[in-house]
Amino acid sequence: MHISEGVLSPPILLGGGVLTVVGTAIGLKSIDYERIMTVSLLTATFFVASLIHVPLGPGNVHLIMGGLMGVVLGWSCFPAILVALFLQAIFFHYGGLMVLGVNTTIMALPALLSSLLFKSWLKRNGTRQKIAAFGAGFLSILLSALLMALVLTLSDTGFLRAAQLVVVAHIPVMIIEGLITMFVVLFLSKVQPEFLQ
Amino acid sequence: MKKTSIKFAVICLSLALFCCFAPQCFAHKLRLFAWQEGDQILGESKFPNGRAAKNIGVRVLDNTDKSQLLTTQTDESGNFSFSLPQGNHSQLEIVVDSGDGHRASWRIDLAGETVPSATLPQSKPVQPETKSESAAVAPKSICSGQGWDEKSLTALLETSLEKKLGPIRKELAEIREKKVTLQDILSGIGYIFGLAGLATYMKYRKNVKE
């Protein structure tokens, strides 16, 4: 899900950068003293999650953990994902520094949206919570894939082809992330409900 | 709160460590490398999980003026090849683009002219024994009479050397490709926790001032 350097046009890079700056500013404000460790733990999780490759689908996909980031962190998923992507760009050569803004937006915005969408159900117990957690994990990847296809289209690749490539490649990830988000949320709500506040 | 925090930290760290030792620790990007073999450029493009990048576009540019020289496509196993483009190019840039936002480029220095002029020292004529040894590579036409004519011998040496150098060049190209190491992963995690410490310190100072 990392777009490489040199694929996108400058206006899109700029737009992604602006969105990321705004999201990060709001996110940083929302981090209080007690949340710092939570944010950094999830940043570390996100940072290494992309090394797990899913050997399914036509291309090249890995775990993203967007849903989990959104559910646990809310707005602070922006700074968390920004830092993790920056380090991935430096250490793993995923994406790049110029496309950092766009890549952050592609992953953080859907994470935030899907967590807001399922917020009320996440606080319940039982089946509704399970559905909400799975939905958040699933939807965040789906939206990310669509957003990525849109960004690629605005640059030059035809939308249908880009959307097909990206969305089809991420179907297995959507399901796996949904399941992982569901299990982690269930576990956290039992062991440490304050993480989900 | 404190105890459960530690528990959660342990879980996250163990997940992180599991990821470190997961078998496929390669970069999430398109991999591309290319090497020269005689007057051909051969190349290979793959996804990090080892899957070939099939039928994707390959563009070849002159690296100095960025003009496009030719385009080709990878085959079913992600390989591609093209003959050296006409004209004087000191460095080529090869770009592959898979259409889903992944793109990789590779620079290749061209090793001068492919068949340099004959510069063999004028020494004793080549013994017939060497002829039989390299007969498999030698086209029949360049054997004339008992000896070798110097020019064709050079050409022969060139081609056979290129053939032997091909795999070595490929290996060198593979080594040049950057891979994710455990150090990368651990230092990244270290940076993240360092930032967390920094943030904690800043917030702490703010609290103290208030």
What digits encode the pLDDT tens for the residues A40-91?
999 999 998 887 776 665 555 678 888 899 999 989 999 999 999 999 998 8
How many beta-carbon contacts under 8 Å exist across A and B?
145
Q: Over the stretch B136-178, which tens digit does the pLDDT of each residue have?
A: 444 554 455 556 788 888 888 888 888 888 788 778 877 777 7
**A105, A92, A3: which is closest to A48 by C-alpha?**
A92
Of B4, B101, B199, the CB nearest to A192: B4
Q: Is the pTM of this model over 0.90?
A: no
Element (H, E) at B32: strand B31-37
Compute the nearest-CA separation of B123 from chain A (Å). Answer: 53
Q: What is the mean pLDDT of residues B55-68?
A: 83
Find chain B residues with C-beta within 8 A of A84's C-beta: 192
Compute the nearest-CA separation of A27 from chain B (Å). Answer: 13
CA-nearest residue to B104 within chain A is A4
pLDDT confidence of residue B43:
87
Of B28, B178, B180, the CB nearest to A2: B28
Q: Is A32 an interface residue toward B (CB < 8 Å)?
A: yes
Q: Is A105 an interface residue toward B (CB < 8 Å)?
A: no
pLDDT confidence of residue B16:
53
Q: Is A46 an interface residue toward B (CB < 8 Å)?
A: no
Residue B134 burial (CB count, 10 A)? 14
Q: Is A33 an interface residue toward B (CB < 8 Å)?
A: yes
Q: Give the ipTM.
A: 0.82
Cross-chain residue pair B16–A31, CB shorter than 8 Å: no
Find chain B residues with C-beta within 8 A of A195's C-beta: 8
Q: What is the mean pLDDT of residues A146-153?
A: 87
Find chain B residues with C-beta within 8 A of A29's C-beta: none
> With a CB-CB cutoff of 8 Å, which residues 176-195 of chain A face chain B?
188, 191-192, 194-195
CA-nearest residue to A83 within chain B is B192
Q: Over the stretch B90-146, which tens digit does the pLDDT of each residue have?
A: 888 888 887 777 788 888 887 654 444 334 444 444 444 444 444 444 455 445 555
What tokens appear for B202 in the block?
């800043």
Q: Over the stretch A153-194, which tens digit does the pLDDT of each residue have?
A: 887 766 777 777 788 878 888 888 899 999 998 888 888 887
Of B105, B184, B189, the CB nearest to A92: B184
Find chain B residues with C-beta within 8 A of A51's C-beta: 19-20, 22, 24-25, 28, 180, 185
- Beta bridge partners, B164, equal none
pLDDT-based confidence at residue A21 (cuts at 50, 70, 90) = very high
Q: Over the stretch B37-53, which tens digit does the pLDDT of each residue have?
A: 777 888 888 876 667 77
Phi, psi of B47 (to 5 degrees): -85, 160
pLDDT-based confidence at residue A16 (cuts at 50, 70, 90) = very high
Cross-chain residue pair B27–A92, CB shorter than 8 Å: yes
Cross-chain residue pair B47–A43, CB shorter than 8 Å: no
pLDDT-based confidence at residue A142 (cuts at 50, 70, 90) = very high
Cross-chain residue pair B195–A83, CB shorter than 8 Å: yes
Q: What is the mean pLDDT of residues A29-41?
A: 87
**SS3 per residue for chain A:** CCCCCCCCCHHHHHHHHHHHHHHHHHHHHHCCHHHHHHHHHHHHHHHHHCCCEECCCCCCEECCCHHHHHHHHHHHHHHHHHHHHHHHHHHCCCCCCCCHHHHHHHHHHHHHHHHHHCHHHHCCCCHHHHHHHHHHHHHHHHHHHHHHHHHHHHHCCCHHHHHHHHHHHHHHHHHHHHHHHHHHHHHHHHHCHHHHC
